[in-house]
Structure 1
């Protein structure tokens, strides 16, 4: 499965804690992240992460493009709802694309933990069926 990991500045430490705690699950999947988040995850865990641009420089849109092509299976996006983001329209578009393409999305630690446990139990295998239909 292909997983996108994104975290706003004030949530990056939460993402690092999450990645460390679930390293044994995340390591079984292809990981993608926006710029700094990806570096921090790699440094903290040693996991291999494909990095896009930072969110404000287009990283959210790059992940959104993969979602629109049905090439992303889950998004974990630790948002900071209390701080204005200059690229808020990109964030809204990313969330909308997850809804349009039925991509599981977590925007906080609690939901992310439910999704990651579901992933580990095989609850997201329906995404593999979609890939098979597309010939991937």
Structure 2
């Protein structure tokens, strides 16, 4: 599966810790991330990460991939104290339109990753076969 990661600056360490904790699950999947988040994930885990652009441009690139149904799962650790980026609206809208599960905090991210491990998201692969 194609799993995308984004994190606001003060959530990047939490993202790295999350990826360390779930490395055994993530290593079986294709990881995509905005540049600084992806670099941090790679350094912390050694996982191969497909890097997009930094910040808002990376979010736009990711939104386009989601719109084209090229992403299966989005994990976005957001800081509620950071002003909302208008690109996030499109990101989440494309997830809704394409039935792509997404998490915006560690609690929901853990639920999705554990579901991924159990095979609960295998229906995404079935959709691509049709």
Question: How high is the TM-score relative to the length of structure 1?
Answer: 0.93
Residue-pair matches, total: 130
Structure 1 residue 22: deviation in Å? 0.2
Find the counterpart in structure 2 of residue 41 from structure 1: 41
Structure 1 residue 31: deviation in Å? 0.2
Gaps of 5+ in 1: none
Structure 1 residue 38: deviation in Å? 0.4
Find the counterpart in structure 2 of residue 24 from structure 1: 24
Residue 78 in structure 1 maps to residue 83 in structure 2: no
Gaps of 5+ in 2: none
Residue 9 in structure 1 maps to residue 9 in structure 2: yes
Per-residue CA deviations over 1:18-53 (Å, capped at 9, x if unaligned) read 000000000000000001000000001000000000
CA RMSD of aligned residues (A): 0.8
Find the counterpart in structure 1 of residue 121 from structure 2: 124
Distance 1:73 1:19 in 2: 17
Q: Which structure 1 residue ranges, 4+ long, deviate > 6 Å from structure 2?
A: none
Distance 1:36 1:45 in 2: 14
Question: How high is the TM-score relative to the length of structure 2?
Answer: 0.97
Distance 2:83 2:67 in 1: 26
